Structure 1
Amino acid sequence: MIRIGANPICWSNDDMQEIGGDIPLEQCLAEAKAIGIEGMELGNKFPRTPAALKPILDAFKLDLVSGWYSTFLIERNPETEFEAARPHVELLKALGAKVLIAAECTRTIHGTQSAPLSTRPVMTDAEWDRFNAGLTRFAEMLAEEGLTLVYHHHMGTVVQTEAEIDRMMAGTGPAVHLLLDTGHITWAGGDPVALARRYSDRIAHVHTKDVRPAIARQAIEEDWSFLNSVLAGVYTVPGDGAIDYVAVFREIPDYSGWIVIEAEQDPVKAPPLQYVQMGFDNLNRFIDEAGLKR
């Protein structure tokens, strides 16, 4: 079954919390529900205990989709990582989420506005071996808790390009699944259609943000930081950029799970209610045109 969710980053940014910092959580949730969104991922304004978060989501009749977790598996072993993740794991389990979104953040520069994308970290062969083994074990421990690890490739991190995704997928076990993020792979120079085709059986979560190609090219050519690129409008909601979502979705005909609208923008330039509604309408059309099962 396909369900459409949203990430609150469409309203309030997590890496630069002043972007949309004035938008209350209640406004975000009320607008999401009014649009037709069924569930939300976590953001910086969400309480992180089940007792505090459940009544808020229940009040808006929204489910918890999942939430980002930063791993540091290059630096620490998977057992230590799992203990660090325990509060997050318990929150997801208590509120019925089925996937945990993981992204390796050792030496990441995506949250540093002054750091050009060219300065992002690149793993050594030894680090790749440690990371892939650690990610596999971490995912296996999560599976024992009833959660599926979905790996979030991301600009500015050690897993950004299509080749890096391939190396991670080849070097990890079946407990590791892929979060297909159409916007990140497109901006990184990869092909979301090819990625969907290659890993259709291991894609367990989908983020849909679109890319404005002229801004993406300028960001790379002028070596902007990730955050400055976001402020310039490199990302938008599905259907408002250059990605062929119908072609992507046709490569995952058996997909069942959440498809999440996640397009970080400056809410002053891109009013969230207007843009998320646009993305929601476009996404529904693309899903139906691709023939995905509702």
Structure 2
Amino acid sequence: MKVQFGCAPINWTNDDLPSLGGELTYQQCLSEMALAGYKGSEGGCKYPKDFDVLKKALDLRGLQICNMWFSSFFTTFENERTFAEFEKHMDFTYGLGARVIGVGECGVTVHGQEETPLFSNCPILTEEQMKNLAEGLNELGRRAQKKGMKVCFHPHVGTGIQSLDEIDRLMKLTDPALVGLLFDTGHSTIAGEDPVEILKKYIGRVAHIHVKDVRSEVFEQVKSGGHSFLWGVKNGMFTVPGDGNCVDWMSIFEILKTSDYEGWIVVEAEQDPAKADPLEYAQKARAFMREQLGV
């Protein structure tokens, strides 16, 4: 397999709830990623915004940025704002090693609202919103292509694109040459879908992968108790591959082993670091994937 393994700093400090792990430094985060055997990192809210400072910190630890979340606002029709920010985002991340840009739609999302019940408030996009999102993503894809990069869209619970039906609609409206898919095992599961089915259907368009598992007992509490997405995160809804009880990893890995996928596989299991030591869980995930994938 021609894959590389990365880790997300959200396992140390949460981007949507920075107080979760707020006491941890970005230096500790990067050092522990490297110690656990990863070669790449996603972006994070704690990371320096100064290019030279972040590049030096990465180089010291033998790391690179493999992807950095980009927020689009096409569902609120803020196209020009999105395009302008995207240009700056591309330049910054390209210089740090990234060749993909994971785009998440944040115009009408509820996933970052700590008090908003997730499942009763998931936005449903209008045809006009979906069309503008697709056209906007195609334009981002054209701009990224000129830079030697690839846009991959991240279906994420609470954003309006989470179910397989919603993914299908967006994939049909976007150009496969311009817009790939960021496959996330955890968000597929929380959306009530089988991630194996999604990966099997779209492996040809997958340009980046996030791996995490789900603890079913917490997931059920989120649904039955009318809790927010961030309530679930704080209470351990997500965990790393090899620790949860929802994702069929053997089937996921079998699809990857028989595919031509050559990108990054990134551990992104946001938890409360006071309850789940990020280094311990990063090591556990890396050992599990090395054992199952042989790399």
Rounded to whole Å, the distance in 2 between the matches of 1:246 and 1:205 is: 19
Question: TM-score if structure 2 supplies the norm length?
Answer: 0.94
Q: For each residue in 1:205-261, what CA deviation from the matched residue of structure 2 results, as whole angstroms up to 9, or x when unmatched?
A: 000011011211221122210000111111001111121222112223211011000
What does residue range 259-270 of structure 1 map to in structure 2 within 5 Å? 259-270=265-276
Any idea what SS the aligned residue of 1:216 has?
Answer: helix
Give yes or no for the alignment of 1:205 onto 2:208: yes
Rounded to whole Å, the distance in 1 between the matches of 2:197 and 2:104 is: 21
Q: For each residue in 1:39-87, what CA deviation from the matched residue of structure 2 results, as whole angstroms up to 9, or x when unmatched?
A: 1111011112322211110111111111001000123365542212222
2:73 paired residue number: 72
Give yes or no for the alignment of 1:219 onto 2:222: yes
Contact 1:78 1:137 in 2 (8 A): no
1:164 paired residue number: 166
Mean CA deviation greater in 130-139 or 74-83: 74-83
Rounded to whole Å, the distance in 2 between the matches of 1:193 and 1:237 is: 17
Q: Report the Cα offset of residue 129 of structure 1.
A: 1.5
Q: Report the Cα offset of residue 122 of structure 1.
A: 1.2
Question: TM-score if structure 1 supplies the norm length?
Answer: 0.95
Give yes or no for the alignment of 1:153 onto 2:155: yes
Rounded to whole Å, the distance in 2 between the matches of 1:92 and 1:215 is: 35
Rounded to whole Å, the distance in 2 between the matches of 1:27 and 1:138 is: 33
Rounded to whole Å, the distance in 2 between the matches of 1:241 and 1:55 is: 35
Which amino acid in the other structure matches residue 19 of structure 1? L
Rounded to whole Å, the distance in 1 between the matches of 2:167 and 2:79 is: 20
1:244 paired residue number: 248
1:279 paired residue number: 285
Which amino acid in the other structure matches residue 148 of structure 2? G
Give yes or no for the alignment of 1:130 onto 2:136: no
1:105 paired residue number: 106
Rounded to whole Å, the distance in 1 between the matches of 2:249 and 2:49 is: 33
Rounded to whole Å, the distance in 1 between the matches of 2:141 and 2:80 is: 11
Moved over 6 A (4+): none
Rounded to whole Å, the distance in 1 between the matches of 2:271 and 2:135 is: 35
Any idea what SS the aligned residue of 1:115 has?
Answer: coil
Give yes or no for the alignment of 1:178 onto 2:181: yes
1:18 paired residue number: 19
Rounded to whole Å, the distance in 2 between the matches of 1:89 and 1:182 is: 26
Contact 1:98 1:146 in 2 (8 A): yes
Rounded to whole Å, the distance in 2 between the matches of 1:169 and 1:250 is: 24
Q: Report the Cα offset of residue 31 of structure 1.
A: 1.0
Rounded to whole Å, the distance in 2 between the matches of 1:122 and 1:261 is: 29
Q: For each residue in 1:136-172, what CA deviation from the matched residue of structure 2 results, as whole angstroms up to 9, or x when unmatched?
A: 1221221111110111111111111111111111111
Which amino acid in the other structure matches residue 140 of structure 2? F
Rounded to whole Å, the distance in 1 between the matches of 2:189 and 2:289 is: 17
Rounded to whole Å, the distance in 2 between the matches of 1:73 and 1:143 is: 20
Any idea what SS the aligned residue of 1:207 has?
Answer: strand
Any idea what SS the aligned residue of 1:149 has?
Answer: strand
Mean CA deviation greater in 72-81 or 271-280: 72-81
1:59 paired residue number: 60
Any idea what SS the aligned residue of 1:100 has?
Answer: strand
Over the matched positions of the two proteins, sequence identity in percent amounts to 39
2:3 paired residue number: 2
Contact 2:86 2:140 in 1 (8 A): no
Rounded to whole Å, the distance in 2 between the matches of 1:223 and 1:125 is: 28
Q: For each residue in 1:149-197, what CA deviation from the matched residue of structure 2 results, as whole angstroms up to 9, or x when unmatched?
A: 1111111111111111111111111111001000000111111111111
Rounded to whole Å, the distance in 2 between the matches of 1:76 and 1:157 is: 15
Contact 1:99 1:147 in 2 (8 A): yes
Contact 2:218 2:237 in 1 (8 A): yes
1:196 paired residue number: 199
Q: Report the Cα offset of residue 11 of structure 1.
A: 0.8
Q: Which runs of 5+ in 2 are unaligned?
A: none
Which amino acid in the other structure matches residue 285 of structure 2? G
Q: Which runs of 5+ in 1 are unaligned?
A: 289-293
